[in-house]
Structure 1
Amino acid sequence: MKKRFTSIEDVLANLKEKTQSLADNSDGLIENETQYECPKCQDRQGRIEQREHGDVWIRCDCVEWRKAQRLMKSSEITDEFKKLGFQNFKTDGKPQIIKDAYACALNYFQSFKDIREKRQNSIALLGQPGVGKTHLLTAISNNFIRKLHIPVLYFPFVEGFNDLKDDFDMLEEKLERMKQIDVLFIDDLFKPANGKPRATDWQVEQTYAVINHRYLNHKPIMVSSELTIDEICDIDEALGTRIYEMCRDYCVVIKGDRKELNHRLVGV
């Protein structure tokens, strides 16, 4: 029968009993502390401390780390992208527009707590491929999750819609999550193929539904795209103008010489 507790003292006593039991039973079973995710608390996520006025349950620091791990797992950010940060984005010797994009992304992250509830609470990095747009927005995402514990959902536009097209059973659930997540990161919006934007009527309709919901509810977006705002407006003006209004204070358009800007062509 499940034990019932009538006071905080009963709860603490039970926790103390379980903690001691785990310690007693671990003898001979655990060869070394490296088998724990957190050697400090041996994965109990806290410890009992004796104080002058009685026992107190002290939460371990690993609780915050575990929360960040759960958020990172649910973000759908790939293992490779989890390594991307501001510290490994190189600006030395790069054109000023790349440095401007870096400064914009860093400023956005540092200002987020103050702008989160405002209309202009989003960021867009637009323009040529290979200039680090995805790197910088992923760096923001990783820092949101690890440092601020803010949930982020990563949605690569082409792959994401291909997955939804192949599995309509998950369509409604995924779109609802895209609407409700704290921060939505759309990567390569309407990515061109053969010089033309990839934007079917169905993709535009679904993207508008998501963006409009977030626009009306002041929920932040992060967008990378090879298209400018004008080019997005050419696809759907209502969608493009909403993105512009949300990202107006944090928007960089990167255009210039391909060999100078595209890091994949360095040395070509």
Structure 2
Amino acid sequence: MENLRIKAEEAKNGQLQAVNSDGSGQESKPDYDCPKCQDQTGYLKIQDGFEVWVRCSCVEWRRVQKLMRSSEITDEFKKLGFKNFRIEGKPELIQGAYECAYNYFQSFRDIREQRQNSIALLGQPGTGKTHLLTAIANNLMHKKHVGVQYFPYVEGFNDLKDDFDKLEEKMGRMKEADVLFIDDLFKPARGKARATDWQVEQAYAVINHRYLNHKPIMISSELQIDQMVEIDEALATRIYEMCKDYLVLIQGDKFQLNHRLEGMT
């Protein structure tokens, strides 16, 4: 109780210091993220005749903001959700991918500790794989307060190569994140998968750690599982075993499936 009163006094003092802070003799109005508690994460309330310190509802909001900042998801991707993913008039494969992603999010709490606790959306580019997985990530952070680490395969490995001093630290974050989202795994260039020995070695180290510790992954890739097997069988089979309950392969007429080509025919 004494600690709560000390915190309450600190909150009051912080409010007093805001007065006349501009030296004008006039009371200034500080710009708080949360006017309710004035960024103290709590406030005094009379309860049963006593002053008690009550935790502010903004604590949950602050937790979400921290998760979003640490996720490395871009501001543009933070706008992607299930509601702005269009399925009307789309082929059944796209609708099926949407349903799989939404069901995964809804079931996450129940499957999180299981072996099949992950999801993979595979197949042709432009079909919304990244959008759907980002929708899962955003909803996990906002609604379930689960941390997600975003790793775009091509840009991510370029960054790792450019900053070897922080390689261990970055790999550690990927291994230990609540959920790891690898976007465009083995992204092909000129028809050939990007999969150097070093990239495969690092990817295996991360995936194997998460596999052994039942930590969920979310994977998007243009490659099918059998094509990943040709790159590294141990890595591919771990991904398959983790994702097989929530795995969608999107393959067909690119003019029907690729939303960026919509209207060309």
Q: What is the alpha-carbon distance in structure 2 between the residues aligned to residue 31 and residue 135 of structure 1?
A: 44
* Structural mapping, 1:144-183, within 5 Å: 144-183=140-179
* Structural mapping, 1:32-111, within 5 Å: 32=29, 35-52=31-48, 54-111=50-107
Residues 212, 239 of structure 1: 8 Å contact kept: yes
SS at match of 2:245: coil
Q: What is the alpha-carbon distance in structure 1 between the residues aligned to residue 4 and residue 67 of structure 2?
A: 29
1:190-213 per-residue CA deviation (whole Å, 9 max, x = no partner) reads 001111111011111111111111
In structure 1, the partner of 2:260 is 264
What displacement does 1:28 show? 5.2
Query: For the aligned residues, what is the CA RMSD?
Result: 1.4
1:206-256 per-residue CA deviation (whole Å, 9 max, x = no partner) reads 111111111111000000000011111111111111100000100000001
* Structural mapping, 1:168-247, within 5 Å: 168-247=164-243
What displacement does 1:36 show? 1.4
Q: What is the alpha-carbon distance in structure 2 between the residues aligned to residue 26 and residue 208 of structure 1?
A: 53
Is the counterpart of residue 140 in structure 1 residue 136 in structure 2?
yes
Residues 112, 216 of structure 2: 8 Å contact kept: yes
Residues 37, 43 of structure 1: 8 Å contact kept: yes
Residues 123, 250 of structure 1: 8 Å contact kept: yes
Q: Gaps spanning 5+ residues in structure 2: where?
A: 22-26
Q: What is the alpha-carbon distance in structure 2 between the residues aligned to residue 161 and residue 19 of structure 1?
A: 45
Equivalent residue for 2:12, pick from 20, 23, 37: 20
1:52-87 per-residue CA deviation (whole Å, 9 max, x = no partner) reads 263221111111111111111010101110111111
Segment of structure 1 superposing worse, 153-162 or 42-51: 42-51
The number of aligned residues is 259
Q: What is the alpha-carbon distance in structure 1 between the residues aligned to residue 212 and residue 93 of structure 2?
A: 31
Residues 149, 174 of structure 2: 8 Å contact kept: yes
What displacement does 1:31 show? 4.8
Equivalent residue for 2:245, pick from 242, 249, 255: 249
1:116-168 per-residue CA deviation (whole Å, 9 max, x = no partner) reads 00000000000000000000000111111111111110000011001111111
Q: TM-score, normalised by structure 1?
A: 0.93
What displacement does 1:18 show? 2.1
Deviant stretches of 4+, over 6 Å: none
What is the one-letter code of the residue matched to 1:11?
N
Residues 124, 250 of structure 1: 8 Å contact kept: yes
